[in-house]
Amino acid sequence: MTKYKLEYIWLDGYTPVPNLRGKTQIKEFESFPTLEQLPLWGFDGSSTMQAEGHSSDCVLKPVAVYPDPARVNGALVMCEVMMPDGVTPHSTNKRATILDDEGAWFGFEQEYFFYKNGRPLGFPAEGYPAPQGTYYTGVGYSNVGSVARQIVEEHLDQCLAAGINHEGINAEVAKGQWEFQIFGKGSRKAADEMWMARYLLQRLCEKYEIDIEYHCKPLGDTDWNGSGMHANFSTEYLRTVGGKDYFEALMAAFEKNLMDHIAVYGPDNDKRLTGKHETAPWNKFSYGVADRGASIRVPHSFVKNDYKGYLEDRRPNSQGDPYQIASQILKTVAEVPTS
């Protein structure tokens, strides 16, 4: 038997953006534990905005397990928060609101800033570095600094070792800003992996004394880009049947549900979706072929392929909860009759 360090990880009850929480329990297993072998566990919900003090027990229900690349005999255990009965989802448990993700594929593009001493990494203590231009996909010290790429590479290696399905990484438009992409067949799978990748990034950065700034417009109303988390999505029907009529009906449903989508696409999105910096205004739905200034970008390949394939919703922001984003997209998709 081997003693495993099981890091149970969950989302707390803070609004509008939940925080990642985690605690360790040690359990013996013959070999790396399967999900079925992992027991329910509990925590004090009064310390996480998930319960009142007098009746504060919440239940952690494991829903995904990954090898922990940074710990000897470690496992990362993604959990849903349940009521004390162990079967009723807690009101903060948004993963449980994803009703049906059969056949749904999601690709999330997470943008974020590294922050040190309250400034983006690589910014001088006062004033600003050279304006945006050569940072995006850039190379060299003056473009990406010296520490950022080291962290990004370490994070990528950790995620791959944990079995997270990264599809790529790149330096972004602003100095100190980066992106990684995660793709999953099943929205829960993609969203679980996104939260786990965020966890690994934040934990890795502790030793560098660097924070991750997920806010969508950390530099306010300046010429510095904000951060998004574009959600690329497809369903079985979109990939195999599609068609112009279906596509137009789908876009009409997205337009009708504009406010429901914006409500879960991350806080302060009105500061980011201004119509500038490759964004569409937050309060007006639009779509366009290869149009990075539209709410939904329709890839060339989609049109060429008789309106089959995937679509990119460019509105979700870097602070958004991928569970809520996927849940709302699939809810709108489900409103549109297929054939």
Q: Give residues in contact with Mn ion (CB under 5 A).
A: 109, 179, 230
Least distance between Mn ion and beta carbon 182 (Å): 11
Instruction: Specify the residue, 237 or 310, whose C-beta has the smaller distance to Mn ion.
Output: 310
Residue 187, binding choice from Mn ion, ligand ADP, none, Cβ under 5 to 8 Å by partner class: none
Q: Can residue 327 be called a binding residue for ligand ADP (CB under 6 A)?
A: no
Site for ligand ADP in 293-322 (CB under 6 A): 310, 312
Site for ligand ADP in 78-107 (CB under 6 A): 105-107
* Residues whose CB is less than 8 angstroms from the CB of residue 217 and which lie 6 or more positions away in sequence, other chains included: 226, 227, 268, 271, 272
Instruction: Specify the residue, 5 or 239, whose C-beta has the smaller distance to ligand ADP.
Output: 239
Q: Can residue 235 be called a binding residue for ligand ADP (CB under 6 A)?
A: no
Instruction: Specify the residue, 105 or 285, whose C-beta has the smaller distance to ligand ADP.
Output: 105
Cross-strand pairs, 313: 231, 296
Question: What phi and psi values does residue 283 have, to the nearest 5 degrees?
Answer: -100, 15
Residue 232, binding choice from Mn ion, ligand ADP, none, Cβ under 5 to 8 Å by partner class: ligand ADP
Least distance between ligand ADP and beta carbon 51 (Å): 36
Instruction: Specify the residue, 12 or 95, whose C-beta has the smaller distance to Mn ion.
Output: 12
Least distance between Mn ion and beta carbon 118 (Å): 24
First to last CA, the chain: 55
Site for ligand ADP in 3-62 (CB under 6 A): none
Instruction: Specify the residue, 58 or 196, whose C-beta has the smaller distance to ligand ADP.
Output: 196
Q: Sign of the CA dihedral 196, 197, 199, 204?
A: positive
Contact 143, 171 (CB under 8 A): yes
DSSP secondary structure letter of residue 333: H
Least distance between ligand ADP and beta carbon 107 (Å): 3
Instruction: Specify the residue, 93 or 234, whose C-beta has the smaller distance to ligand ADP.
Output: 234
Least distance between ligand ADP and beta carbon 231 (Å): 8
Least distance between Mn ion and beta carbon 296 (Å): 11
Instruction: Specify the residue, 105 or 282, whose C-beta has the smaller distance to ligand ADP.
Output: 105
Q: How far apart are CA 338 and CA 318, in angstroms?
A: 32
3-state helix, strand, coil in the chain (%, to 5): 30, 30, 45
Q: Please give, one letter per residue, the 3-state secondary structure of 149-194.
A: HHHHHHHHHHHHHHCCCEEEEEECCCCCEEEEEEEEECHHHHHHHH
Q: Taking the C-alpha atoms of 62, 67, 68 and 70 in order, what is their torsion angle to the nearest 10 degrees?
A: 180
Residue 183, binding choice from ligand ADP, Mn ion, none, Cβ under 5 to 8 Å by partner class: ligand ADP
Diameter of the chain by CA atoms? 60
Instruction: Specify the residue, 64 or 144, whose C-beta has the smaller distance to Mn ion.
Output: 144
Residue 234, binding choice from Mn ion, ligand ADP, none, Cβ under 5 to 8 Å by partner class: ligand ADP
Mask for 105-124, x = binds ligand ADP (CB under 6 A): xxx-x---------------
Q: How far apart are CA 322 and CA 325, in angstroms?
A: 5
In single-letter form, the type of residue at position 200 comes to L
Residue 324, binding choice from Mn ion, ligand ADP, none, Cβ under 5 to 8 Å by partner class: none
Q: How far apart are CA 247 and CA 239, in angstroms?
A: 11
Q: Which two tokens stand for residue 60?
A: 């952690």
Site for ligand ADP in 129-168 (CB under 6 A): 167-168
Contact 106, 165 (CB under 8 A): no
Instruction: Specify the residue, 64 or 295, whose C-beta has the smaller distance to Mn ion.
Output: 295
Give 23's Cβ-side CA count (13 Å radius).
Answer: 8
Enumerate binding residues for ligand ADP (CB under 6 A). 105-107, 109, 167-168, 181, 183, 230, 232-234, 310, 312
